[in-house]
Amino acid sequence: MTHKTLIACALSFAAGAGLVLAQQQQPTTRREPQFENDHMKVWKSIIMPRQPLTQHRHDHGRALIALTDGVLKVVDPNGKVTTTYHWEKGKAYWLGVDPPGETHADVNETDKPIEVIVVELKKDR
């Protein structure tokens, strides 16, 4: 192999590795578990722009602490917006139990990620 061929192969490998690394670092909407005990379950939700959380429901009330400002839309399985929340960084909010049999997805239509800590009670009083 010539010196030029070796350099071309090395550059090609480096470019491919960079592409794979960039794809692996693509941030995604997700829930990051924080802790759980007999009384509550705590997670961090990160909702990336135009990457909704999948349809889900909450069988228990929960407190939400906004880590970022943001506007979050709640949509039903048909895509209809049922609620719009305006979160303010550093503020806490209460969200009750979802109606029986109903699911929703959380949608961020802004250009910035929305981050919240959710503290869900395991038993409602």
pLDDT at position 67 is: 98
pLDDT at position 11 is: 47
Domains of the chain, each with CATH number or no CATH: 29-121 (2.60.120.10)
pLDDT at position 15 is: 54
Average pLDDT over residues 95-119: 94
pLDDT tens digits along 42-99: 999 999 999 988 899 999 999 999 999 999 999 999 999 999 999 999 999 999 999 9
pLDDT at position 38 is: 95
**Longest Cα–Cα distance in the chain:** 76
Most confident of 6-10, 20-24, 31-35, 50-54: 31-35
To the nearest whole percent, how much of the chain has pLDDT over 70?
A: 78
pLDDT at position 96 is: 93
What gap in Å lies between CA 69 and CA 56, rounded to an integer? 23
114, burial (CB in 10 Å: exposed 0-12, middle 13-18, buried 19+)? buried
Non-local (6+) Cβ contacts of 87 within 8 A are 64, 66, 68, 69, 70, 71, 72, 93, 114, 116
pLDDT at position 1 is: 59
Q: Bigger pLDDT: 13 or 66?
A: 66
Quote the Cα angle for 28-93-80, to 5°: 60
